Amino acid sequence: MELASLIVACIALLFGIFTFIFHDNKLKKQERKLNDYQLKKNEIEELEIKKAQIRGNIVKVGKGPRTLKVYNKGRSKALNVRFELISNADRLDIFKNPFPYELLNPQDSTEVIFRLIVGFPKTIKVKFIWDDDFQKNNEFTQVLTL
């Protein structure tokens, strides 16, 4: 009887140790995944802090001149901001062009004012180029509706 009790106790002890080790390994694996996820999230956040994001919108009031409002929606300052008209440039008469723009802080904007020439298109394709703390010569191409 004593031997049977000892065997049952040993089996229970071994089962408990096995369960503990299995559960502990599972928890450590989950913890490693969470730590890796948090590290990646922090790295992405650090990169986003270094990036500017230059975008544009067309503002129109009546049938007069149009305004291309260029703004920085990123979290870093944009330096040496430039823009190029990729398509339909010959159909626009730009008469106020502040580019290249030296510094565009986050959430700031500037404007390009232009008139449309007869037979103007419905859209223009614009490429914005800028430098920021992340890298030089960032580019973003955008199609804007006139």
> pLDDT (tens digit, 0 to 9) for every residue of the chain, 146 residues total?
787 788 888 888 888 888 888 888 888 899 999 999 999 999 989 989 999 999 999 998 777 788 999 999 999 999 999 999 887 666 677 877 888 999 999 999 999 988 887 777 788 899 999 999 999 999 999 999 88
Q: Count the neighbouring beta carbons within 10 Å of the beta carbon of residue 3.
A: 7
What's at 125, amino acid-wise? K
pLDDT for 118 equals 76
Q: Rounded to an integer, what distance in angstroms lies between the CA atom of residue 97 and that of residue 113?
A: 7
Category of 82 on φ-ψ map: left (φ > 0), alpha (ψ -120 to 50) or beta:
beta
pLDDT for 17 equals 85
Q: Rounded to an integer, what distance in angstroms lies between the CA atom of residue 24 and that of residue 43?
A: 28
* C-alpha 111 chain-centroid distance: 23
pLDDT for 103 equals 95
- Identify which of 130, 133, 126, 139 has the alpha carbon closest to the alpha carbon of residue 75: 133
DSSP secondary-structure letter at 117? P
pTM above 0.85, yes or no: no
Question: Under a CB-based contact definition with an 8 Å cutoff, are residues 67 and 111 in contact?
Answer: yes
pLDDT for 89 equals 67
Q: Rounded to an integer, what distance in angstroms lies between the CA atom of residue 58 and that of residue 81?
A: 18
pLDDT for 92 equals 76
- Identify which of 128, 84, 90 has the alpha carbon closest to the alpha carbon of residue 109: 128
